[in-house]
């Protein structure tokens, strides 16, 4: 028998890991609910036709496809057809409904758009939903990149109001405050990037300009300028871009400077107004907690998901000197996502949380609550016979007092039981022996301090209810 293993790029989550992940999910869930977002869950499998063509050529290649069942039970005619389709699958990136008609969810956005279109007549718009589910991609696994990973999205569709953008900024602030991760929220507008391309006299080069600018952090301005040249931007254009990138100051000052540079671009002015208004709404919502807003940074080099974003875009990065980690969240305004499935003119805006990276950052910063790790607070040692009966009665009384507790199920040797207790990391063990039973008391041993004392069950419950 070969040693069992799991597929590359997938993970088992141990008890401690599940509890830590649940802590993140619960924190986010509570905030989403507080902000009036509603939960949605879609199936792991979608029809392949729902997914193909939505994520670009590379995306299509990375979709996990499910083999149709019962292929060997097909009739001869059908098999000829299957063989023909199989040949096509081998010769080009091609999806055949007779070989595979279903695939695993690749993200949460397309299933959400599909859901909204299917249920457009039942839903009340604006529809605010959150969704926290795994997605699957046949990417090459590497550190921090998995083939099964979790996405966590919050979106509003059916409203163009910038209050939505501001509320999503509040959600980011509140979430990372509660998770104890110091962050900077970068904000930009797709419209400013479009205006920049106009300024260069090359509106069709927006993509090239953005890709180059996005590397500013990594390769500096000299590198970016070189890449812009290689991508065919004129010297005058490069000079315009340099002017914009060199703008410094508060968000208000930056937006004023951009307005000066982009005053002749209607698109640019629209983007600037939208950013101003979003920040103003944010201030009104933040109210007395204005200092919270100091970590929001207008950053014209922010590029992010050019495929469907059309307005304000945001990205969250961890702002801690000892943590090196890319973006841990991002999102933006998109128009017409549901248009892919035939429902036109529904604007939306959403944000996403990178659960795996958030987990890693929290682990590094050691900000998970300590009590998450263990589970049960106390183990009852099993001394067998009448003491076992006594212990079972105590056990249920502890649980009735809402104290997570367990008994060692066999009256094994004391050392064996203590070794188990030690490995599990209980805060306390309870020792219900002859003396305790006869006195109707319990002996409680604190595993950290080694201290042991005999108390009544009532006192014992009091001790166990204290935060350790």
Binding to a second copy in span 11-40, by CB under 8 A: 11-15, 17-19, 22, 33-40
**Three-class DSSP category at 436:** helix
Q: Phi, psi (5° rounding) for residue 444?
A: -115, 130
Q: How far is the CB of 245 from a second copy (least distance, A)?
A: 33
By C-beta, is 410 or 435 nearer to a second copy?
410
Q: How far is the CB of 448 from a second copy (least distance, A)?
A: 18
| Under 8 Å between Cβ of 197 and 231 | no
Candidate residues 55, 106, 176, 281; the one interacting with a second copy per rule CB under 8 A: 281
Kind and range of the H or E element at 420? helix 414-424
Sign of CA dihedral 173, 179, 182, 184: negative
Q: How far is the CB of 227 from a second copy (least distance, A)?
A: 29
Question: Where in 104-163 is the site for a second copy (CB under 8 A)?
Answer: 104, 114-115, 117-119, 124-126, 128-129, 134, 136, 138, 147-148, 156, 159-161, 163
Q: How far is the CB of 263 from a second copy (least distance, A)?
A: 27
By C-beta, is 43 or 56 nearer to a second copy?
43
Q: How far is the CB of 432 from a second copy (least distance, A)?
A: 13
Q: How far is the CB of 104 from a second copy (least distance, A)?
A: 8
The secondary structure of 308-334 as a DSSP string is TEEEEEEEEEE--TT----EEEEEEEE
Asked if 10 interacts with a second copy (CB under 8 A), we say yes
Candidate residues 28, 55, 102, 240; the one interacting with a second copy per rule CB under 8 A: 102
Name the CA radius of gyration of the chain, rounded: 29
Asked if 44 interacts with a second copy (CB under 8 A), we say yes
Q: Which residues contact 323 (CB under 8 A, 6 or more apart)?
A: 361, 364, 365
Q: How far is the CB of 19 from a second copy (least distance, A)?
A: 6
Q: How far is the CB of 291 from a second copy (least distance, A)?
A: 15
Q: Phi, psi (5° rounding) for residue 92?
A: -155, 165
| Under 8 Å between Cβ of 428 and 445 | yes
Q: Which residues contact 103 (CB under 8 A, 6 or more apart)?
A: 45, 46, 47, 48, 51, 52, 63, 64, 65, 66
Asked if 1 interacts with a second copy (CB under 8 A), we say yes
Question: Where in 350-379 is the site for a second copy (CB under 8 A)?
Answer: 375-376, 379
Question: Where in 323-352 is the site for a second copy (CB under 8 A)?
Answer: 341-342
Candidate residues 260, 284, 363, 435; the one interacting with a second copy per rule CB under 8 A: 284
Question: Where in 379-438 is the site for a second copy (CB under 8 A)?
Answer: 379, 388-389, 392-393, 395-397, 399, 402-410, 420, 423-424
CA distance 362 to 368: 6
| Under 8 Å between Cβ of 457 and 400 | no
């Amino acid at each position: 028998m070969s040693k069992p293993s799991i597929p590359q790029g997938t993970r088992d989550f141990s008890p401690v890991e599940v509890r830590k992940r649940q802590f993140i999910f619960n924190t986010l869930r509570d905030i989403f609910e507080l902000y009036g977002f509603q939960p949605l869950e879609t199936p792991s499998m979608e029809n392949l036709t729902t997914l193909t063509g939505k994520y670009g050529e590379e995306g299509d290649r990375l979709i996990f496809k499910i083999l149709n069942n019962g292929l060997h039970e097909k009739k001869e005619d059908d098999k000829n057809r299957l063989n023909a389709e199989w040949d096509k699958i081998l010769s080009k990136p091609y999806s055949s409904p007779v070989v595979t008609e279903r695939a695993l969810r690749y993200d949460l956005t397309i299933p959400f758009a599909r859901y909204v279109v299917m249920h457009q007549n039942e839903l009340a718009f604006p529809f605010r939903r959150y969704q926290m589910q795994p997605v699957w991609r046949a990417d090459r696994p590497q550190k921090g990149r998995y083939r099964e990973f979790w996405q966590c999205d919050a979106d509003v569709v059916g409203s163009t109001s910038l209050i939505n953008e501001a509320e999503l900024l509040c959600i980011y602030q509140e979430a990372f405050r509660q998770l104890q991760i110091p962050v900077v929220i970068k904000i930009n507008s797709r419209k400013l990037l479009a205006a920049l391309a106009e300024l260069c006299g090359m509106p069709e080069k927006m993509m090239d300009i953005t890709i180059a600018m996005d590397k500013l952090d990594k390769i500096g301005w000299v590198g970016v300028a070189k890449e812009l040249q290689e991508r065919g931007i004129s010297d005058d254009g490069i000079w315009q871009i340099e002017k914009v990138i060199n703008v410094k100051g508060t968000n208000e000052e930056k937006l004023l400077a951009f307005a000066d540079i982009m005053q002749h671009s209607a698109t640019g002015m629209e983007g600037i107004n939208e950013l101003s208004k979003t920040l103003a709404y944010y201030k009104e919502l933040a109210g007395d907690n204005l200092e919270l807003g100091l970590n929001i940074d207008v950053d014209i080099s922010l590029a992010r998901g050019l495929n469907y974003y059309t307005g304000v875009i945001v990205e969250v990065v961890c702002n801690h000197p000892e943590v090196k980690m890319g973006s841990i969240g991002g999102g933006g305004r998109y128009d017409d996502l549901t248009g892919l499935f035939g429902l036109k003119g529904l604007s939306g805006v959403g944000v996403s949380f990178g659960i795996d990276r958030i987990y890693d950052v929290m682990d590094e910063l050691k900000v998970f609550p300590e009590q998450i790790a263990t589970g049960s607070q106390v183990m009852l040692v099993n001394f067998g016979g009448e003491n076992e009966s006594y212990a079972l009665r105590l056990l249920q009384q502890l649980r009735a007092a809402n104290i997570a507790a367990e008994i060692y199920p066999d009256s094994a040797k004391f050392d064996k039981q203590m070794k188990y207790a030690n490995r599990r990391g209980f805060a306390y063990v309870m020792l219900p022996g002859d003396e305790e039973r006869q006195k109707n008391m319990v002996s409680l041993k604190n595993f950290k301090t080694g201290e042991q004392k005999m108390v009544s069950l009532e006192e014992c419950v009091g001790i166990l209810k204290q935060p350790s």
